[in-house]
Amino acid sequence: MTLKPTKTVVAPANGTSGTRAEPPSSNRAARAAERRQAIIEAALEEFIARGFAATRLDDIAKRAGVAKGTIYLHFKDKESMFEELVRLVIVPVVERLTKLPPPAGSVRDLVEVFASTFLREVASTRRGDLVRLIVAEGPRFPAVADFYYREVVQRGIAGMRALIELGIARGEIREKGLAKFPQILVAPVLISVIWQSLFERHAPLDAQAMLRVHLDLIFGERRTT
């Protein structure tokens, strides 16, 4: 449950840090941090691809380019690796989103910018699959579901609700009941994420377009596109 703040290893003076498989970087601590990062990324890929139970630590190690034992220098066991992983990936996303919008312009613009950013940065990336992973494993990992609820869902709902109430107050939103169910606002975004994972090859979905239609429903049709 402790958060292990990713060992904010300040990139060593030489600029050669960063991407994987780099030649031996400056000091030991930095190399360790690199390995850790490689493990995290590899684990995320594997967990997303196979789910928790079907993921083999062997594969994670191989993908990360480390020995199996090395994983245990960074994580207590498979289970806590999974839980910590979710935190490690979610936290920076949440941080970015919370400090995002300089609240200017109409509520609709605000929502649209926000949702578009989310779609761009989450829905169509590995992090989108993470959402599906949480949906999939949540019931078996209450700690993960709890964390996700507290850090993402609850805050998200609260933020949406504030926006909706602002919209209602300003007359941008007609449907007053919406304030009770901010989930409706983000429903299509979640649908997009899941759709991409499961049905993209059957029928691609233009998430951005769908989002605009949804916002039209809420805010009324746009005059100027």
The residue ranges that bind DNA (CB under 7 A) are 24, 27-28, 31-32, 35, 54-58, 66-70, 72-73, 77-79
Q: What is the 3-state secondary structure (H, E, C) of 102-159?
A: CCCCCHHHHHHHHHHHHHHHHHCCHHHHHHHHHHHHHHHCHHHHHHHHHHHHHHHHHH
> Residue 215 corresponds to which tokens in the numbers above?
């916002």
DSSP state of 5: -
Q: Scanning residues 41 to 60, which ones bind a copy of itself (CB under 8 A)?
A: 49-54
Least Å distance between CB 97 and a copy of itself? 19
* Measured distance CA(222)–CA(224) in Å, rounded: 6
How many residues interact with a copy of itself (rule CB under 8 A)?
A: 49
* Residues with Cβ within 8 Å of residue 124, at least 6 apart in sequence: 196, 207
Interface with a copy of itself, residue 113, by CB under 8 A: no
How far CA 104 is from CA of 101, 111, 125, 217, in Å, comes to 8, 11, 28, 22
Closest distance of CB 16 from DNA, Å: 13
121 Cβ partners below 8 Å, 6+ apart? 93, 96, 127
Considering the complex, what minimum distance in angstroms separates the CB of residue 16 from a copy of itself?
28
**Residue 1 contacts a copy of itself per CB under 8 A:** no
Site residues for a copy of itself, window 154-213 (CB under 8 A)? 154, 174-175, 177-178, 180-181, 183-184, 187-188, 190-191, 194-195, 197-199, 202-203, 205, 209-210, 212-213
11 lines the binding site for a copy of itself (CB under 8 A): no
Interface ranges with a copy of itself (CB under 8 A) = 49-54, 132, 134-140, 145-146, 148-149, 153-154, 174-175, 177-178, 180-181, 183-184, 187-188, 190-191, 194-195, 197-199, 202-203, 205, 209-210, 212-214, 216-218, 221
